[in-house]
Structure 1
Amino acid sequence: MNRRRFVKLSTMAALANPIKGMVSSKSIKRSNPSKGHIAVIGAGAFGGWTAFNLLNRGYKITLLDAWGPGNSRASSGGDSRVIRGVYGPDRIYIELVARSFKLWKRYQKRWHQQLYFPTGVLWMFQGEDMYARSSLPILTELGLRNEELTRKEAGKRFPQINMEDVRSFFYEYEGGYLPARHCCQVVMNQFVKGGGTYQQIAVEPGEIKNGQMTNIRLMDGSTLNADTYVFACGPWLSKIFPIVLKDVIQPTRQEVFFFGTPYGNTDYFEQKTPVWTDFGKKLWYGIPGADWRGFKVADDTRGVDFDPTTGDRTPSKRGIESARKYLGKRFPGMKNAPLLEARVCQYENSLDGNYIVDRHPNAENVWVLGGGSGHGFKLGPALGEFVADRVTGKKEVDPFFGLSRFSDEPKKKTQFNQ
């Protein structure tokens, strides 16, 4: 498949079902308000929250997506995502998490929708634990309650977990999970309700002349003109801008499994089991019973390269066996648990595991937003504010998320490898 065909098929988008307020993609000429017209391409966690925040600042916003917010091809798809504050020594992320906790709570109250489930998060380390330990002073400073537990204390709280090979334990009280697909669709609805325009259609970037992108091309043959363009296209970014972002973002295939809990046993529901992460030879994590789908288990190890548009999403026998083996060891009461569901999603990995929030180097009016690298969803509300500040010129690009950092050899491949 050539690049043009790929982009036509795959540029990210939004809602899977019709939304009141959707307009025809034939609307080409648009009268811009005094603050200007901004087109946001991609209605996942990054794009949706960015569009929402820009709209609230008085800009005219058009949000476009090919398949819908939370769709099964998107990085923001699926039923649940972890929200946690531990981020190693990277203060910028912990500050964004602290802000996101406040915003998730604010918006779920305002919109009368539960978007955040505070189960707590238990961190378990079989070896070196500086990833969590280096975060604790920053968490405490920012008001995120945390605690280091002894094995005895952890075992008393969570007797359903086999902790014999775990050396250290940390607990985040505000951690939990977010219903990902639902959150994306709620944000979309609020965006439209607030006066934003949503178009469900695939998009190509337009021509760049004299340091400006002239328009974007829609797949019905029309074009859309705006003052500024924000491409929040997740795993498709390297295909959309193959020269500028070549090899900067690499999607990988990731498998997630949902196992059935024992009949009549409530030990593995979220009332008794927190969200958990387990650092050993691999990093495993899980969510207990989110939306009653089953006991979620996933291996965070980066999988093989994956095409988010055409890639087959059939779960592998090897992945199922590996997850079941791990589950039986760490949660003995779940040994031989039946597999209820499985999903194949993807991480949109940047070279160093950190986000990208920067201008296109050849187009002053184009922004590139992505590189969630498997840890982006929870920060959506705060990142939307962060991006809006940069796009509107209120603040400068932060070098931590800038494209220029890739001119040096990356020192790490995932956000967990400090």
Structure 2
Amino acid sequence: MGTQDYDVIVVGLGAMGSATAYHLTRRGYRVLGLDANARQHKNGSSHGSSRIIREAYMEGPDYVPIVQRAYELWRELEAETGQKLLNITGCLTIGAPDSAFVKGALASCQRFNLPHEYLSGPEINRRFPGYTLPEDLHAVLEPNGGFLFPEECVMAHLDLAARHGAEIRHEEAVLSYSAPGENEVIVETAQGRYQAERLVITTGPWAAELLAELGIPLEVWRIVNAHFEPEDPARFQPANFPVWLLEAPEGDFYGFPALPGQGIKLGRHDLGEITTPQTINRNVDPAEIKLLKDLVDKYMAGGAATFSKSLTCMYTMTPDHNFVLDRHPAHPNVVYGCGFSGHGFKFAAAIGEILAQMAVDGQTTQSIGFLSAARFRQPVR
């Protein structure tokens, strides 16, 4: 196949790449989307039944305007597709009063005047009987928290991008890219050679390979999720059981209410086996399931009566657990997003808009300086 020309090539079509392709095509740009994996694959970080979305952002108030824009864009995507993608249940950020989780959530609430309640463990247990929290734990309850259907979100972005004219090519791995001119990039795959004015790289846990020359300190973690059927399903339905984040002596965890055919779902957030996309162990050990069941038995008694299933995914971590959104220092027409550190999916609709703006406008309407790769560059001595 000879060279084919586009305005923008997007490499990696998971959460961020699919959204970027959508935002570019709805602005009228000619887009090629490339992904090494099959459509709806389970090999990366965008599969499974649910992802939390929350506004009282414990990781830092600077994220709040971006996630607020994401809420707007998810609702626009629902309106355009006629699909239910965003589900509001409320969100409980649980921990000791002086924990990073609780203090961080309260800081975002206070800075942006977000609606919230500050509740004790017993107050939570009375209001939401699925929880059995001890007295020394408290929580920030934000009414706007909830969850997204991740696979449906990715497919919605991809389908609309294609409808708007994008060429979407799965199972076509990028071998290399170059940027010989300020308005020229060349992307090579086994199937062809493609040319465009701009390039966006959003390859998730594969980012360290394609962006190796930039030296961004990325580490891939293997993460285990488990699903359980509760003994009393009514106590764990979305109307009665908000999504949750928990900082406890056992570690940091997150979870979801019981969904049809899924039961409740939870995973550990603060610890993962270091791995690569090529070497990740997809088998889940019984001890890993027991750790999660024991946590539910302690803090949500009755929620894990029967083990249902498990799955693995990957976090792509930065040292400070913040995202990287930037452009190539030597090639301004190459922009990238990576290192979403296990809390990026909720932002995908807005990250796609940001990366599209960076690629074709040279700047974005969002304040993203705190996500620059410059924070990892070694000072000149």
Shift of 1:394: 4.8
Matched residue type, 2:201: F
Q: Tell me how far apart the structure 2 counterparts of residues 395 and 210 of structure 1 sit (CA, whole Å).
A: 19
2:72 corresponds to which of 98, 102, 119: 102
Question: 2:287 aligns to what?
Answer: 318
1:216 corresponds to which of 184, 187, 193: 187
Question: 1:364 aligns to what?
Answer: 332
State whether residues 200 and 355 of structure 2, in contact with CA within 8 Å, keep that contact through their aligned partners in structure 1: no
Change (3 A) 1:109 1:209: closer
SS for the counterpart of 1:323 is: helix
Shift of 1:392: 1.7
Change (3 A) 1:214 1:158: closer
Please give the residue correspondences for 1:354-393 in structure 2 after superposition, counting only pairs within 5 Å. 354-393=322-361
SS for the counterpart of 1:102 is: helix
SS for the counterpart of 1:267 is: helix
CA RMSD of aligned residues (A): 2.1
SS for the counterpart of 1:272 is: coil
Q: Tell me how far apart the structure 1 counterparts of residues 315 and 39 of structure 2 sit (CA, whole Å).
A: 16
Identify unmatched segments of 5+ residues in structure 2.
Answer: none
Matched, 1:274 2:242: yes
2:262 corresponds to which of 290, 293, 297: 293
Q: Tell me how far apart the structure 2 counterparts of residues 105 and 177 of structure 1 sit (CA, whole Å).
A: 13
Shift of 1:210: 6.3
Please give the residue correspondences for 1:1-400 in structure 2 after superposition, counting only pairs within 5 Å. 26=1, 28-30=3-5, 37-68=7-38, 70-88=40-58, 90-128=60-98, 129-140=102-113, 144-200=114-170, 201-209=172-180, 214-220=185-191, 222-245=192-215, 248-262=217-231, 265-281=233-249, 282-334=251-303, 337-395=305-363, 398-400=368-370
Change (3 A) 1:339 1:283: same
Same amino acid, percent of matched pairs:
26
Shift of 1:146: 1.8
State whether residues 60 and 104 of structure 2, in contact with CA within 8 Å, keep that contact through their aligned partners in structure 1: no
Instruction: Using structure 1 for the length normalisation, give the TM-score.
Output: 0.83
State whether residues 69 and 188 of structure 1, in contact with CA within 8 Å, keep that contact through their aligned partners in structure 2: no
**Range 62-71 or range 94-103, more displaced:** 62-71
Shift of 1:366: 1.3
Q: Tell me how far apart the structure 2 counterparts of residues 133 and 378 of structure 1 sit (CA, whole Å).
A: 19
Shift of 1:290: 3.4
Shift of 1:209: 4.0
Change (3 A) 1:394 1:228: closer
Q: Tell me how far apart the structure 2 counterparts of residues 223 and 265 of structure 1 sit (CA, whole Å).
A: 53
Q: Tell me how far apart the structure 1 counterparts of residues 110 and 90 of structure 2 sit (CA, whole Å).
A: 18
Matched residue type, 2:335: W
How many residues get paired?
A: 372
Q: Tell me how far apart the structure 1 counterparts of residues 132 and 96 of structure 2 sit (CA, whole Å).
A: 12
Q: Tell me how far apart the structure 2 counterparts of residues 373 and 268 of structure 1 sit (CA, whole Å).
A: 28
Instruction: Using structure 2 for the length normalisation, give the TM-score.
Output: 0.91
SS for the counterpart of 2:363 is: coil
Question: 1:7 aligns to what?
Answer: none
Structure with a larger share of its residues in strand: 2
State whether residues 92 and 140 of structure 2, in contact with CA within 8 Å, keep that contact through their aligned partners in structure 1: yes
Identify unmatched segments of 5+ residues in structure 1.
Answer: 1-25, 410-418
Q: Tell me how far apart the structure 2 counterparts of residues 207 and 384 of structure 1 sit (CA, whole Å).
A: 22
Q: Tell me how far apart the structure 2 counterparts of residues 89 and 301 of structure 1 sit (CA, whole Å).
A: 13
Q: Tell me how far apart the structure 2 counterparts of residues 407 and 180 of structure 1 sit (CA, whole Å).
A: 33
